Amino acid sequence: MQLLLSCCMWLLMGVSAWAQGNQTIKGTVLDASTREPMIGVSVLEQGTSNGAITDLDGHFTLSNVKTGATIQFSFVGYKNLSLPVAKAQGQILLTEDDKTLSEVVVVGYGTQRKVNLSGAVSAVDGEKLAAKPSSNVLDAMQGELPGVAVLRSSGEPGSETSGMRIRGFSSVNSTSTLVLIDGVEGDISLLNADDIESVSVLKDAAACAIYGARAAAGVVLVTTKNGGEGKPRINYSGYYATNLPGNMPKRLPAWEEQEWINIGRVNQGGKPEWNPEQSSWVGNRNFNYRPNNTNGRWDEFSATNWVDEGTRDHSDQTNHSLSVSGGTKNINYLISGNYFYKNGMLKYGKNDNTRVNLHAKVNAELNKYVAVGVNVQYQSKKNNAPSAGAGNILNNLYGSRARQLIYNPTEDVNYDVNPYNGDLQFNPIQVMKDGGLAETLYETFVGKGDLTIKNLLKGLRVNLSASRRAGYYTGKTERHYLVWYGMTGDNVRQSYNDPNSLYRIKNNDYHDLFEVTANYEFDIKKHNIKLLAGTSYENYRKDEFSATAKNMNSNDFYSFNYYDAAEATNTSLSDNIAPWSMMSYFGRLNYNYADRYLLEANIRYDGSSRLAPEKRWKAFPSVSAAWRISQENWFKFDWVSNLKLRASWGQLGNGAILGLYDYIPTIAQSTVYMGEKSYYQSQLASKDKTWETIETTNIGIDLGFFNSRLNASFDYYWKYNNDMLSNLQLPHTIGIGVPAVNVGKLKTWGWEFEVKWNDHIGDFSYQVAFNISDSQNKLMEYDGADVISAGTVGLLEGYAMNTIWGYKTDGYWSSREEYLAYKEANPGYKSFSDGKVGGGDVRYLTLPDKDGNTGHQVGAGDGTKENHGDLVYLGNANARYLYGMSLSAQWKGFDFSMMFQGVGKRKLLINTEAIAPFGRTYQMPWTIHRDYWTEDNQDAYWPRLYNYNGDMFNFQPSDKWVQNAAYLRLKNITLGYTVPVSNRIIQKLRVYVSGNDVWEHSDILKVFDPESGNNVGRNYYPFFRTWAFGVNVTL
C-alpha cells in the first residue's frame, strides 16, 4: 500500500512539474458523416494529464498547451484522432470507428467477422482471463460466457475444476468438450493464461459441425498470442496471492461436544457416555487423561480442536509469467514461460500443485506464396497430496472426537515407538505427516508445423499442418502402515494401510494430427463466396504400465526392489495399450450477399476405429443463415447500429462414451480358479453401436444500439439426442452383459442473453456487461429408467436428469406421546424407526394413497412414477439461470473491475451423514448444529440430539433438508493502477490487487459451498478466497 501511495505522490508532483504551457486552443468537434456536434469528446495533450471535454455544442477549450505538443481526441465508438497543436483547432471531424463491426472471432478452421456470423459463438479475450488470480484458465472462464458452465470441484490444489458444460447436457452419458489449442487437441486447464489471445466457444451445431463426431458438447478454440512487428517486447506479469479457506465447518468446544454426546446417548435410550464429573474434566487444562486399567486404555478428556490443529488459516499461490516477442515484417516470434504454484490448507505434509509452461512460436512469410509457422509448447502439472486423500483427512478433522489426545501421555509404554494417540479414531495429524504421499506428474509436449501456400490463384489458400502432442504421466502412491495401540501397548486400537503398499503408474501417449485445408474466396459483384475443403487424419496411442507391491520390507523406504515378493498376492501388474484413429473429410460454404444475407453450410464426414467397419463412417451436416436487417437500405433507425437475425440447424456426434473395441467380442478375466485364470466374455459386442447424434436448432438475434455502445444478443436453442446410448432392458435369457445401444432420447433446450454497455463520462470510461443463460432437459426415452427413490434420481424417463425426491415434513413431534396419539388416530401410520421416534424428531407426512388413505407407513410406494408413495418432487440438482455480471471502469491510470457470477436456481441434497450430528459415533457435530430441538426450543432448525449410529431416521431426503444452492458470488474484484512511467526501458508498469471468490450470498448451510456437487459429504475440501498482489511490466 505504501508503494501505491508513494507512486501517487510521485505522479502528482510530476504532473504539476510538466504542466507548464504557453498556448490555449479552441475548437468544435463534429461527427464526420452527420456534421452534428459531439458532446463529451475527450481532448488530451498527449503525454500529460492536461485535458478537456467538449460541451453541449461540441466546443472545447484547452489551455497551457506546450508548443509542439500532440492533441488527442477520443470518444467511444469513434476512431482516436491525434493532431499537432497547429491543426487541433477549429473544426475537428471524428469518424466512427467500426471496430465493433470489424471485430473478428475465431471459428473452426478460420476466422469470421463477428457481424457476419450466422452461428452461435461467444468469445473472450485472453487478457480478461489472465487478469484474475485463478487457479487455472478454465476456472477464470467461469461466468464470462453465456451458456458455458465451468464445473468446479473444490479448492484442492490441482483439482479445482473438472471440465465445462456448454449449453446444458447433450447426453446422459459422458460428453467431452473438444478443446483445440492452436488447432491441437489439449487441456485448457494446463495453459498459461498470459499466452492466450482469445478463447472462442462454438455453441450451436452450425458453428461446431465442422468438427463433426466430437463436437456435440461444444468446441472451444484457444488461440495463442503471436509476436508482432517491432523491437523485442518483454512482458512480465506476476502475483503473490494468499488463499483463505471459504465456507467450512467449525468445531464445538470439547466440553460442549461432550455435553451433546451425553444428551444424544440419553435420547437414544442409553446412559450418558460419562457422568457429570467425568464430563466436567473434558476441556480442563490440568486434567487431560487418566489410566483406565479395566480396559487397558487411557480415559481421555482433552480439548483438541482438530480443524485448528490440522489446517492452516491461509495458503499461498504465486504466478510468474514472462514473454519475449517481436519481429520484422516477414518474421515474428514469441517465447514465453510460466510458473504457477499453489499449496493447500493441510498443515502437514505436501498438498500442492505446480504448473510450468513454455511456449515458442515463430511465423515467417517466406515469399509472396509461402508462409510457414512453428508452434512448440511444453506443459507440466505436478500434484502432491497425502495418499489418504486430502478430503479424507479433512473428514477426520471435521469429525474426530475433541476429547481425544493428539499425543499419548509420555508415560504410555508405546510412547517412544509412536507418540501419537489413535484411541477413538485414527489420528489425522499423524496420517498427514506419516501416512505417505501421492504424487502425480503430467507433462505434455506439443509441436506443430504449418505450411501455407497462397496467391497461386487469387483467393486460394492451402494450408498443411502436422502436429503431435506427446504426454507423459507418472504417478506414485505410498501408503504407509500406521498403527495405534491402547495404553498397555498390546491392544491395537486403530490401524491404517495394513499392509503398506507402493503403487506406481506410468504412461506415455501421443496424438498425431495431419490436416490439409484449402480456402477459396471470390466475389461476383455483391456476392461473396468462401469455400473450405479439408481432410484430416488423427492417430492416438497410449501405452500404460502400472504396478502395486504390498508388504514393503521397511515402512520408511518404498521401492519395488524391497518388498515381500514371496507372497504372490503382494504383487499386481497391469498394462494397457489404448489406440484409436480417426479420419475426416470436411467442407464449408459461406455465402454473403452485400453483408446483408448470410448463409453457411458445413459438412463433416468422420470415420473412427472405435466402430465396426460397416458402421464406421457418418456425415454430420449443418446449415445456418442470417439476415442483417440493419444493412438494408430501407432501414432508417440511426440509433440501431446492428440488427441481425440468425437461425441454424445441424447434427453433431458424441463419441465420448464409445469404447475402443465395442464391436469386437473381448475376453475378460474372472476370478482365479485353483491358481489358474478363468476367462469369459462379459458383454456382448455391438456391431450396431454408433455415435450419439445430437440435432441442434438455434435461433438468435444480435442488436447494437447507439453506435454500438450498447450491444445485446439473445439465442434460443433446442437439441435432441436421438441416438443416445442407453442400457437396453432385455430378458436375462440373453445370458451375457448387454451393451449400451443407440435407443435413448434426450431433449435439451434453453436460452442465452448477453448485453454490454460501454461509455465514458469525460475521461472516466466504464463498461457494464451482463449475461444469463438457462438450460433444461427432459429424458424422453431411456429403456427402463423408471425407478423413483428417495434422494437424487439421475435418470427418470419423462423427467429432467438429476431430480430430487423426498418426503414432506411438518416440523417436529413434540413428544413420543404425540407420535403415539397420532398413530392411534391414523391407524397404519408409521414413521421411520418407529420405535425411536420421540419429541424433537422430524414429523414425516404421509400422502393419500390411491384409496385416499394416509394411514400407512411412510415410504416410497412401488418406487414408480405411477406410485411413488409419499415421495414428492423437491426440485432439480442441475443449475439453472447461470449469470455473470461485470463492471469495469478506468480513470486516468486507475482501473477497477468487479465481476459477479451466480446461479439462479438449484437444489442440492447434502449427504445425510455429512449434516447429521452424531450420524456415526465418529462424526462430531459442528457449530451450525447449536440450534437443536429441546422442549424449550421447539422451533429449532435441527432435530433433537440423538446418537444415530448409522440409522439417520431424522435425515431422510425431505423438504426439510433439501438445500437452496442458488448463489451470487463476487467472483473477482480488481483495482489496478498504471504507473505513468515513461522512459526508454519501461513502457508500462501496472500494479494491482485482485480478489477471487471473495464474497457470496447463498441460503445453503454455511459449512458448504453452493457450488458443491450433489451429495457432498464430510470429505469436503473448501473453496478458497484468494487475494492477489501483482504487477505487469512491459519493457
Q: Indicate the residue among 675 and 835 with the shorter CB distance to another protein.
A: 675
Rule CB under 8 A: is residue 577 a binding residue for another protein? yes
| C-alpha cell of residue 69 | 505538443
* Residue in 303, 331, 406, 583 binding another protein, rule: CB under 8 A: 583
Q: Residue 653: how many CA atoms within 13 Å on its side-chain side?
A: 25
CB of 793 to another protein, least distance (A): 17
Q: What is the rounded CA–CA span in Å between residue 517 and residue 209?
A: 16
* 20 and 66 Cβ atoms separated by less than 8 Å: yes
User: Where does this chain touch another protein (CB under 8 A) — which range of 287-295, 535-543, 813-821, 1000-1008?
Assistant: 535-543
3-state secondary structure string, 252-310?
CCHHHHHHHHHHHHHHCCCCCCCCHHHHHHCCCCCCCEEEECCCCEEEECCCCCHHHHH
Distance of CA 839 to the CA centre of its chain: 44
Query: What SS3 state is found at 387?
Result: coil
CA torsion angle for 359, 365, 369, 372 (degrees, to 10)? -20
Q: What is the rounded CA–CA span in Å between residue 358 and residue 192?
A: 9
Q: Residue 954: how many CA atoms within 13 Å on its side-chain side?
A: 27
CB of 295 to another protein, least distance (A): 21
541 sits in which H/E element: strand 527-550
CB of 507 to another protein, least distance (A): 12
Rule CB under 8 A: is residue 679 a binding residue for another protein? yes
Q: Indicate the residue among 82 and 670 with the shorter CB distance to another protein.
A: 670
Rule CB under 8 A: is residue 678 a binding residue for another protein? yes
| C-alpha cell of residue 784 | 427402463
Q: What is the rounded CA–CA span in Å between residue 482 and residue 491?
A: 14
* Residue in 670, 867, 938, 949 binding another protein, rule: CB under 8 A: 670
Rule CB under 8 A: is residue 686 a binding residue for another protein? yes
CB of 807 to another protein, least distance (A): 23
* Residue in 413, 664, 761, 821 binding another protein, rule: CB under 8 A: 664
Rule CB under 8 A: is residue 681 a binding residue for another protein? yes
**Which residues, listed in sequence order, are joined to residue 857 by a DSSP beta bridge?**
830
Cα–Cα separations (whole angstroms), residue 269 to 32, 284, 944, 1000: 88, 28, 13, 42
Rule CB under 8 A: is residue 514 a binding residue for another protein? yes
| C-alpha cell of residue 269 | 435410550
Rule CB under 8 A: is residue 546 a binding residue for another protein? no
CB of 998 to another protein, least distance (A): 49
Question: Quick check: bond before 499 cis, omega within 30?
Answer: yes
CB of 604 to another protein, least distance (A): 15
* 650 and 208 Cβ atoms separated by less than 8 Å: yes
Site for another protein in 693-752 (CB under 8 A): 728-736, 738-739, 741
* Residue in 676, 824, 851, 939 binding another protein, rule: CB under 8 A: 676
Rule CB under 8 A: is residue 661 a binding residue for another protein? yes
Rule CB under 8 A: is residue 782 a binding residue for another protein? no
| C-alpha cell of residue 318 | 504465486
Q: What is the rounded CA–CA span in Å between residue 113 and residue 127?
A: 20
Rule CB under 8 A: is residue 673 a binding residue for another protein? yes
Closest CA to 72 of 47, 40, 38, 99: 47
Rule CB under 8 A: is residue 86 a binding residue for another protein? no
Rule CB under 8 A: is residue 568 a binding residue for another protein? yes
User: Where does this chain touch another protein (CB under 8 A) — which range of 210-218, 327-335, 339-347, 565-573?
Assistant: 565-573
584 sits in which H/E element: strand 571-593
Q: Indicate the residue among 567 and 834 with the shorter CB distance to another protein.
A: 567
* Residue in 368, 525, 677, 850 binding another protein, rule: CB under 8 A: 677
Rule CB under 8 A: is residue 607 a binding residue for another protein? yes
Q: What is the rounded CA–CA span in Å between residue 722 and residue 744?
A: 7
Instruction: Please enumerate in sequence order all residues whose Cβ is within 8 A of that of 284, keeping only pairs 6 or more positions apart, or say none.
Output: 301
CB of 726 to another protein, least distance (A): 12
**Which residues, listed in sequence order, are joined to residue 86 by a DSSP beta bridge?**
none
Q: Indicate the residue among 577 and 820 with the shorter CB distance to another protein.
A: 577
* Residue in 314, 506, 687, 709 binding another protein, rule: CB under 8 A: 687
Integer-rounded Cα Rg, in Å, for the chain is 33
| C-alpha cell of residue 567 | 507372497
CB of 856 to another protein, least distance (A): 17
* Residue in 269, 665, 762, 828 binding another protein, rule: CB under 8 A: 665
Closest CA to 174 of 201, 151, 206, 141: 151
Rule CB under 8 A: is residue 629 a binding residue for another protein? no
User: Where does this chain touch another protein (CB under 8 A) — which range of 208-216, 218-226, 666-674, 974-982?
Assistant: 666-674
* Residue in 420, 580, 586, 1027 binding another protein, rule: CB under 8 A: 580
Q: What is the rounded CA–CA span in Å between residue 958 and residue 971?
A: 31
Q: Indicate the residue among 662 and 1009 with the shorter CB distance to another protein.
A: 662
Q: What is the rounded CA–CA span in Å between residue 772 and residue 758?
A: 18
Ordered DSSP codes for 928-973: GGGSB-BTTBTT-SB------TT--GGGSSBTTT-EE--EEEEEEE
Rule CB under 8 A: is residue 569 a binding residue for another protein? yes
Rule CB under 8 A: is residue 613 a binding residue for another protein? yes
Rule CB under 8 A: is residue 582 a binding residue for another protein? yes
Q: Indicate the residue among 380 and 727 with the shorter CB distance to another protein.
A: 727
Rule CB under 8 A: is residue 680 a binding residue for another protein? yes
CB of 577 to another protein, least distance (A): 4
- Name the phi and psi angles at 305, rounded to 5: -95, 95
CB of 748 to another protein, least distance (A): 26
* Residue in 672, 761, 820, 986 binding another protein, rule: CB under 8 A: 672
- Name the phi and psi angles at 442, rounded to 5: -120, 125
Q: What is the rounded CA–CA span in Å between residue 497 and residue 550?
A: 10
| C-alpha cell of residue 728 | 437396453
CB of 279 to another protein, least distance (A): 35
* Residue in 684, 699, 1031, 1035 binding another protein, rule: CB under 8 A: 684
Q: Indicate the residue among 679 and 873 with the shorter CB distance to another protein.
A: 679
CB of 567 to another protein, least distance (A): 7
* Residue in 111, 666, 854, 949 binding another protein, rule: CB under 8 A: 666
User: Where does this chain touch another protein (CB under 8 A) — which range of 137-145, 439-447, 571-579, 984-992?
Assistant: 571-579
User: Where does this chain touch another protein (CB under 8 A) — which range of 279-287, 607-615, 817-825, 991-999?
Assistant: 607-615
Question: Binders of another protein: how many residues, by CB under 8 A?
Answer: 57
CB of 569 to another protein, least distance (A): 5
User: Where does this chain touch another protein (CB under 8 A) — which range of 70-78, 237-245, 296-304, 572-580?
Assistant: 572-580
* 415 and 409 Cβ atoms separated by less than 8 Å: yes
Rule CB under 8 A: is residue 535 a binding residue for another protein? yes
Cα–Cα separations (whole angstroms), residue 436 to 61, 349, 387, 502, 555: 73, 9, 6, 10, 10
Q: Indicate the residue among 582 and 910 with the shorter CB distance to another protein.
A: 582
993 sits in which H/E element: strand 988-1002
* Residue in 660, 761, 820, 986 binding another protein, rule: CB under 8 A: 660
CB of 729 to another protein, least distance (A): 5
11 sits in which H/E element: helix 2-18
Q: What is the binding site for another protein (CB under 8 A)?
A: 514, 516, 535, 537, 539, 567-569, 575-577, 579-583, 607-610, 613, 616, 660-661, 664-667, 670-681, 684-688, 728-736, 738-739, 741
